[in-house]
């Protein structure tokens, strides 16, 4: 697909998604409890076949889904994205047994997934995480030395101890992709990814009251048992699992932002065309018209960069980390600007609880922070640029 346009089938599909979001998903979203997983909404995403597409489509289709849903129902967009983020490591790196157990349930919307990377002291610096995966040598009646010596004859066992924070869908998810340190002091090279079901002994959590309405919480690991059967990918290669997942989802965070920006822009076009001001319509004021033009310009530029990055991902390009970081950075910063300007042009009515722009104003802030803050994206871009220049 060209990075700069959609074919007729894609255009029609996006229109269908916006209609489904408005007619079938938004009513369910409005019945949900802020800060908690909306399982009826997740189940409806499964019935519509959208969750299954997380595992059968590429980055471009993921972006089309996220942008289209975000335009009409941000809660539905977020529910879909969180299922993908939490389950993609299982899809891409899991064993046949792991995939068989969890992916059909994620696709039908009966199991909720979560991606547990961030910690109280390791948010944007993912390589600094401290959740410990200690070798379990506590087998009854066997000395620690003998237990370790017997390891080759059975699956490796660890105990997870520590905390995760700012985890979307926690503590209500059914399973978590968890990143833990298996080798102290080794930075990114000493991290292993584990698939941890929510019912494991020692795993507890609590919700956090956040500005945006989707569920976010903390997780506490008190010697939670895991084995080699729970490892995603290879031991000590968990950072690769994390970055592989983020390289896919960062451009689609940009698509989420573009969807919100386009919703804010369309609302502004409608409002300024009908609002009387100073003897004419608001749109007739040059300052207003130029502001709307700037909003449209930035939104389209962000959209083009998002789909260029998604296309690069689908084609296996070498510069995906740089393009993904650029797309997320530009789109999320642009959406913040567009929504803010939309509020300004609407005036006080946009700040009233329940107004579309009041909702978008709360929703648009978080994407500049999660999955790598804007400052982190700039660091990734610079690192990749210098690597290319010195190659």
In the structure encoding, which two tokens stand for residue 246, read together? 């983020």
236 as an active site residue: the answer is no
Q: Of 371, 375, 384, 388, which residue is the catalytic one?
A: 371
E strand segments, 37-174 = 113-116, 132-135, 157-168
Please answer whether residues 342 and 295 qualify as being in contact, where contact means their C-beta atoms are separated by less than 8 angstroms. Answer: yes
Q: How far is CA 384 from the centre of its chain?
A: 22
DSSP 185-221: T-GGGGEEEEEEETTSTTEEEEE---SSSS-EEEEEE
| Other beta carbons less than 10 A from residue 193's beta carbon | 28
In the structure encoding, which two tokens stand for residue 67, read together? 């942008």
Q: How far is CA 377 from the centre of its chain?
A: 15
Query: DSSP code of 130?
Result: -
Helix (H, G, I), strand (E, B) or coil at 73: coil
Q: Residues near 187 by Cβ (< 8 Å), separated by ≥ 6?
A: 127, 128
Nearest to 341 by CA among 295, 391, 389: 295
E strand segments, 228-371 = 231-232, 276-277, 280-281
Compute CA distances 287 → 166, 273, 274, 293, 335, whole Å.
Answer: 40, 14, 16, 10, 20
Helix (H, G, I), strand (E, B) or coil at 137: coil
Q: How far is CA 230 from the centre of its chain?
A: 22
Residues marked active site are found at 371
């Amino acid at each position: 697909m060209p990075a700069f346009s959609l074919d007729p089938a894609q255009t029609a599909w996006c229109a269908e998604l916006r209609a489904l979001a408005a007619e079938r998903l938004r009513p369910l979203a409005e019945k949900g409890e802020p800060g908690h997983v909306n399982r009826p909404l997740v189940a409806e995403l499964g019935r519509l076949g959208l969750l299954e597409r997380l595992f059968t489509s590429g980055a471009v289709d993921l972006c089309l889904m996220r942008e289209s849903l975000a335009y009409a129902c941000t809660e539905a967009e977020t529910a879909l994205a969180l299922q993908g983020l939490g389950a993609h490591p299982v899809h891409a790196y899991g064993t046949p047994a792991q995939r068989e157990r969890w992916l059909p349930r994620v696709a039908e919307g009966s199991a909720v997934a979560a991606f547990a990377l961030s910690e109280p002291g390791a948010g944007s610096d993912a390589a600094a995480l401290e959740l410990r995966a200690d070798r379990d040598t506590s087998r009854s009646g066997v000395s620690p030395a003998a237990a370790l010596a017997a390891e080759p004859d059975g699956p490796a066992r660890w105990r997870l101890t520590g905390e995760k924070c700012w985890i979307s869908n926690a503590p209500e998810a059914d399973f978590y992709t968890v990143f833990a340190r298996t080798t102290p002091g080794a930075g990114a090279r000493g991290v292993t990814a584990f698939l941890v079901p929510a019912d494991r002994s020692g795993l507890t959590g609590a919700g956090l009251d956040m500005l945006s309405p989707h569920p976010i919480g903390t997780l506490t690991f008190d010697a939670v048992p895991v084995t080699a059967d729970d490892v995603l990918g290879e031991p000590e290669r968990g950072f690769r699992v994390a970055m592989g997942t983020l390289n896919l989802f960062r451009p689609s965070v940009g698509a989420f932002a573009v969807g919100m920006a386009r919703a804010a822009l369309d609302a502004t076009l409608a409002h300024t065309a009908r609002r009387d001001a100073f003897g004419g319509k608001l749109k007739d004021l040059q300052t207003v018209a130029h502001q709307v033009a700037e909003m449209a310009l930035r939104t389209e530029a962000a959209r083009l960069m998002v789909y260029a990055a998604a296309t690069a991902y689908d084609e296996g390009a070498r510069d995906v980390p740089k393009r993904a970081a650029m797309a997320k950075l530009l789109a999320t910063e642009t959406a913040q600007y567009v929504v803010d300007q939309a509020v300004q042009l609407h005036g006080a009515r946009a700040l009233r609880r329940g107004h579309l722009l009041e909702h978008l104003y709360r929703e648009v802030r978080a994407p500049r922070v999660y999955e790598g803050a804007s400052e982190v994206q700039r660091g990734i871009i610079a690192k990749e640029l210098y690597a290319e220049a010195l190659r």
